[in-house]
Amino acid sequence: MMRVVQQSLLGSILSNMLLLLGSAFFYGGLAVASVNSGLLMAVMGLLFPAVLHATHT
């Protein structure tokens, strides 16, 4: 029974570590994506009017 308990503890520790690490990577990726999309919208908001003004004859 000692071996079963040891393997059960090891399995629970490994699964918790993988779950937390995967969750951290997932939410970190979402945060980076939201920052990048916000920067993209800001650049487009400044770039499009400037291009239209420069090409307007």
Gap between the Cα atoms of 7 and 10, Å rounded:
5
Task: Tell me if the pTM is above 0.75.
Answer: no
Domain ranges of the chain: 1-56
pLDDT tens digits, one per residue of 4-36:
999 999 999 988 889 998 999 999 999 899 999
Question: Which pLDDT score, from 0 to 100, does residue 55 have?
Answer: 92
pLDDT reading at 53 higher than 80: yes
Phi, psi (degrees; rounded to nearest 5) at 56: -75, 125
Instruction: Give the confidence band of 57 by pLDDT, cuts at 50, 70, 90.
Output: low
Q: What is the pLDDT of residue 10?
A: 93
- What is the pLDDT, as a whole number, of residue 16? 87
